[in-house]
């Protein structure tokens, strides 16, 4: 009987140990589950906070861009650095900082004069969104494009820097001739004319042979600065070689074409983006090129735009980003002229910026630059018409 009691107590003790082990394992598993769950939730919260901070930062950037693009009143008293500080937005706040200039060279440094007072200067905006300690920074640029006249001849000394002759017409809003030449603006022959709201000339203006003008002519004015002087040049990527098309319908993508694009017939569609063109640039001898959301960067000493005979270019510029509103951008220092001649038609919806060279429209050709034409010199001759709806 005594033996059975001892054995029974041993069995009870073993059972109790098993129960204790099971409970211990349960506790450990439970604690492990709680730890894993807690870590998982913490990770989820961090990821969610970062995503919300990104959205808040982008909201701040949009708010800043809306203010600086509306008018120039914000520039009064503005200093580089934090501008819109700790503004509540959703579950967090944003702070927007302003800096004069842009990163021209892509080296991470903003090329700046330090002052925000010049209405023509580009501005870099940096927005930091913060939610529950998580912060995200986004950045963009604003480059004023409508603070300058519709047509600007940048040359400071050239005689006849802007020439309108041979029965040609210049239809614009405001004309600025920076040359101090005599004459700096030359309009000749009976049916040649300039129609503008304001014609501003640093030097002299001459209207000969019955040529006429409408609008207010003012000579002896101060020159204006290049409104796009701070616009950075794009960097070429993989070389796509050259394109030559004479018939059919084809589509090409944006990129670097070291040999340029030549069209002598057919219909060419260019997909949106930046086209960096070397060699002879863009040449349209005949046929049509449709380019929506496109900028041509003319890189190299010979890269130009040439539209001949039955050539037709219909183009709109990018609607966002660094090159918003810019259709042509010729490398600074290039003096090779761009030509529209022999009945060629150009209809672009943005600014043509050729700061060091000439633009020549001749032989009954029509150029319709919807926003701006900025060049070193400009010639319209032989019955050509240049229209700017700035």
Q: Is residue 28 part of a domain?
A: no
Among 114-128, 231-245, 306-320, the range of highest mean pLDDT: 231-245
Instruction: State how far the Cα of 51 lies from the Cα of 380, in Å rounded to an integer.
Output: 55
Instruction: Answer yes or no: do 77 and 170 share one domain.
Output: no
With 80 as the cut, is the pLDDT of residue 271 above it?
yes
Instruction: Answer yes or no: do 369 and 236 share one domain.
Output: yes
Instruction: Answer yes or no: do 127 and 202 share one domain.
Output: no
Instruction: Answer yes or no: do 215 and 128 share one domain.
Output: no
With 70 as the cut, is the pLDDT of residue 218 above it?
yes
Q: Is residue 21 part of a domain?
A: no
Instruction: Answer yes or no: do 179 and 65 share one domain.
Output: no
Residue 343 belongs to domain spanning: 151-388
Summarised one tens digit per residue, pLDDT across range 106-132 is 556 776 767 787 776 778 899 999 999
Q: Which range, of 13-17, 298-302, 314-318, 351-355, averages the lowest pLDDT?
A: 13-17
Instruction: Answer yes or no: do 135 and 186 share one domain.
Output: no
Instruction: Answer yes or no: do 127 and 184 share one domain.
Output: no
Instruction: Answer yes or no: do 72 and 128 share one domain.
Output: yes
Label residue 240 by pLDDT band (50, 70, 90): very high
- Choosing from 93, 125, 142, the residue where a domain stops is 142
What share of the chain has pLDDT > 90, as a percent? Answer: 59
Instruction: Answer yes or no: do 261 and 297 share one domain.
Output: yes
Strand partners, 257: 277
Instruction: State how far the Cα of 194 lies from the Cα of 310, in Å rounded to an integer.
Output: 26
Label residue 231 by pLDDT band (50, 70, 90): very high
Q: Which range, of 14-18, 99-103, 111-115, 238-242, averages the lowest pLDDT?
A: 14-18
Domain count, the chain: 2
Instruction: Answer yes or no: do 82 and 223 share one domain.
Output: no
pLDDT score for 202: 97
Instruction: Answer yes or no: do 111 and 205 share one domain.
Output: no
Summarised one tens digit per residue, pLDDT across range 177-217 is 999 999 999 999 878 999 988 999 999 999 999 999 999 99
Q: Is residue 27 part of a domain?
A: no
Q: Is residue 133 part of a domain?
A: yes
């Amino acid at each position: 009987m005594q033996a059975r009691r001892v054995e029974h107590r041993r069995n009870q003790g073993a059972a109790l140990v098993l129960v204790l082990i099971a409970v211990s394992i349960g506790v450990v598993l439970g604690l492990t589950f709680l730890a894993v769950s807690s870590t998982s939730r913490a990770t989820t919260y961090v990821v969610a906070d970062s995503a919300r901070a990104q959205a808040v930062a982008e909201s701040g950037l949009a708010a800043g861009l809306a203010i600086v693009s509306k008018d120039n009143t914000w520039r009064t008293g503005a200093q580089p650095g934090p501008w819109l500080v700790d503004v509540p937005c959703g579950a967090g706040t944003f702070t927007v900082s302003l800096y004069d200039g842009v990163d021209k060279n892509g080296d991470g440094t903003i090329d700046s004069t330090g002052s925000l007072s010049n209405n023509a200067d580009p501005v870099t905006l940096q927005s930091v969104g913060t939610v529950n300690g998580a912060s995200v920074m986004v950045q963009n640029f604003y480059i004023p494009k409508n603070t300058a006249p519709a047509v600007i001849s940048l040359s400071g000394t050239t005689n006849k820097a802007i020439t309108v002759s041979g029965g040609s017409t210049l239809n614009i809003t405001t004309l600025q001739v920076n040359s101090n030449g005599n004459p700096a603006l030359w309009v000749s022959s009976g049916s040649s004319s300039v129609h503008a709201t304001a014609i501003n000339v640093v030097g002299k203006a001459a209207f000969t042979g019955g040529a006429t003008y409408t609008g207010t002519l003012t000579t002896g004015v101060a020159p204006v600065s290049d409104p796009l002087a701070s616009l950075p040049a794009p960097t070429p990527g993989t070389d796509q070689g050259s394109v030559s098309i004479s018939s059919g319908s084809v589509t090409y993508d944006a990129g670097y074409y070291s040999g340029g694009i030549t069209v002598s017939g057919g219909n060419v569609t260019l997909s949106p983006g930046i086209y960096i063109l070397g060699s002879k640039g863009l040449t349209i001898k005949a046929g049509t090129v449709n380019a929506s959301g496109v900028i041509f960067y003319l890189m190299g000493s010979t890269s130009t735009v040439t539209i001949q005979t039955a050539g037709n270019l219909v183009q709109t510029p990018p609607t966002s980003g660094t090159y918003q509103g810019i259709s042509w951008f010729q490398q600074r220092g290039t003096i090779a002229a761009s030509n529209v001649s022999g009945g060629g038609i150009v209809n672009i919806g943005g600014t043509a910026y050729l700061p060091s060279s000439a633009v020549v429209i001749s032989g009954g050709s029509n150029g319709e630059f919807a926003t701006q034409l900025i060049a070193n010199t400009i010639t319209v001759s032989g019955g050509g018409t240049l229209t700017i709806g700035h």
